[in-house]
Amino acid sequence: MLKVIPVFAQAGISGFQSPAAEYRQLTLDLDELLMEHPTATFIGQAKGDSMTGVGIFDGDLLIVDRAATASSLDVVVANLNGSFVCKLFDRKASLLLSPGSNQQGHQLREGDIFEEEGIVIRSVRLHRYARQLAQCLR
Partner 1 sequence: MFALVDVNSFYASAEKIFDPSIRQRPVVVLTNNDGCICALCDQAKLLGVKKFGPYYKVQDMLRDQGAVIRSSNYELYDDLSNKMMEVLGRFAPRQHVYSIDECFLDFGQWVPKEGWADYALMIRETVARELRLPVSVGISLTPTLAKVASFVAKKRKVKKGTAVLISDEIRRRLLAQMQVGDIWGVGKRIASRLTAMNVDSALALADACPKAMRKQFSVEIERTVRELNGTFCFDWETLPTEKKQTFSTRAFGSPVTDFTSLRQSLAWHAERVAEKVRRQQSAIQVLTVFAHANPFASSGHYHRSVQHTFAFPVNDVSSLVRVVSKAATEIYKPGVKFHKSGVGALALCPARQTQPDLFDESKSKPELMQCMDLINQRYGKNTLGIAAKGVNVQWSMKRNFLSPQFTTNWQDIPKITC
**Which one of 33, 40, 93, 126 is in contact with partner 1 (CB under 8 A)?**
40
Smallest distance, partner 1 to C-beta of residue 43, A? 5
Q: Is 47 a catalytic residue?
A: no
Cα Rg of the chain, angstroms? 22
Smallest distance, partner 1 to C-beta of residue 19, A? 33
Considering 87, 94, 98, 123, which one is annotated as catalytic? 87
Looking at residue 101, what DSSP letter applies? S
CB count, 10 Å around CB of 86?
26
Considering 3, 18, 47, 50, which one is annotated as catalytic? 50
| C-alpha span between 16 and 103 (Å, rounded) | 66
Q: Is 87 a catalytic residue?
A: yes
Q: Is 83 near partner 1 (CB under 8 A)?
A: yes
Residues between 10 and 29 that touch partner 1 (CB under 8 A): none
Binding window for partner 1 (CB under 8 A); candidates: 5-13, 28-36, 55-63, 104-112: 55-63
CB 118 within 8 A of CB 68: yes
| C-alpha span between 54 and 49 (Å, rounded) | 11
